[in-house]
Amino acid sequence: MSEKTKISSGQIGVFAALMCMYFIAPTHSAVNVASTGLMSTYGVDANAISYMVSITNLLEIPAAFVIGLVAGRKLSYRACALLATALVFVGGVPTFLGAALPWEGILVTRAILGLGLGCFMPVVLGVISLMFQKESVRATMMSVASVVFNVGMIVTTNVAGILGAISWNLAWGIYLFSLVPFVLCIFLLTPKNVPAVPATDASGEKVKIKLPVSGWVLLVLFLGGIIMSQSLFNLGGATIGAVVDNPAVIGTIFSLFSVGAIASALLFGPAYKFLKAYAIPAFWVVDIVGYVLWYAAHVTGNVPLFYVAIVLAGFGTNTMTVGVPMLLSTFVAPAIVGTVMGFSYVFQNGGGFLASPIDQVVSLVAGADAIMSSVWIFDIVVGILVLVGLVYVAKKASAMKAEAPATDE
């Protein structure tokens, strides 16, 4: 057992810069508040707005994959961070400044924005994994990052709404904040503060991009968990609306998802210290309970149950978004942590895209009279299967840990 882990001032500075990046990472849909203004100005319909948002989401996937392959290997993490924040600035600020862009220009800037935002997770979590080698400390830092991510989602959405109420284009002002992490990364993400990525493993051989079978299983489980979460957002509003037709109530219920997510992030670090990989399936049980309560609320029309269920669902979903990258980082050499973080983000976004077609298939099989019930039952079954898989992965992770050379953990 080593001495108590000390975090240097340089590491604190790097972490602060990364958190400024993560604060604006969930902003791809924050400017949706300006939809009415966009439709009025450009004469487009809601489908065009949906397409605009989808472009950003779609391009985050290849961006995450590519940056994961090169971060720390072909390009320094500082160069990747500067590229990412610069793309976000270029993708957001022209619209804020009122540039006379044609509709096609708006779409191009949204594409650039997606490329930038897609780079954030592999860079942020890759650097955290490099700086904090002790697992319990790394888990805590990733938990803090998740808190910042969720708070950023709440704050930027509200700020965009306030600015958009003045003029629709001002909603894009949230992307001015990208200058803050850009400047901080220039001065703080230096070779002195960020450990170099070793090109070889302990035996002196060149590190290859290789993930164990349990790692791929974990990614598939992650995909399943995100499909469940996206189904909740896709169809949850209609489920609540069938019981209480009040947009304010629906909005309040969905806002509580972030409350559960933040609670999960705050508790995951301490839990991981004692439970290790088993913290993920332990926390995931809460998610399953949340979906069972959601189904019960749907069947009985009990509105208070929706409030409880959404908090538990947020808790469980965030367990995956924190726990999966954390556990993946322990499966591979430091040289390819950025790569597997990219894989993780690809599977995360992939789950978001697959949710709608899967829900449609489930609904077609069940019939029009049982659409909602069938989707929630399907999600509960998926949740149980994911739990079984998470226990399997946790056992494999524990076995790998036992076989590995002794560390300071």
Q: Which two tokens stand for residue 31?
A: 């400017």
Question: Which residues are paired to 206 by β-bridges?
Answer: 200
Q: What is the C-alpha to C-alpha distance for residues 322 and 40, in angstroms, rounded to an integer?
A: 40
pLDDT value of residue 168: 85
User: 194 pLDDT band (50/70/90 cuts)?
Assistant: confident
AA letter at 369: D
Closest to 168 measured CA to CA, from 24, 44, 33, 30: 33
pLDDT in tens, 111-169: 999 999 999 999 999 999 888 888 889 999 999 999 999 899 889 888 888 888 888 88
Q: What is the C-alpha to C-alpha distance for residues 366 and 299, in angstroms, rounded to an integer?
A: 16
pLDDT in tens, 33-57: 777 888 888 888 877 877 888 888 8
Closest to 114 measured CA to CA, from 198, 7, 26, 187: 26
Are residues 159 and 23 in contact, defined by beta-carbon separation less than 8 angstroms? no
Q: Where are the alpha helices (DSSP H) in 132-278?
A: 135-166, 179-188, 213-241, 247-275
What's the Cα-to-Cα distance from 186 to each of 82, 85, 118, 141, rounded to whole Å? 7, 11, 20, 22
Q: What is the mean pLDDT of residues 366-394?
A: 85
AA letter at 200: T
206 backbone dihedrals φ, ψ, rounded to 5°: -65, 135
Ordered structural domains, the chain, with CATH:
9-188 (1.20.1250.20), 213-402 (1.20.1250.20)
pLDDT at 399 over 80: yes
What is the residue-averaged pLDDT of the chain? 87
The sign of the CA dihedral 344, 349, 352, 355 is negative
Q: Which two tokens stand for residue 324?
A: 């999966």
Q: Which two tokens stand for residue 297?
A: 């609320």
Q: What is the C-alpha to C-alpha distance for residues 321 and 99, in angstroms, rounded to an integer?
A: 36
- pTM for the whole structure: 0.86
Q: What is the mean pLDDT of residues 323-336?
A: 89
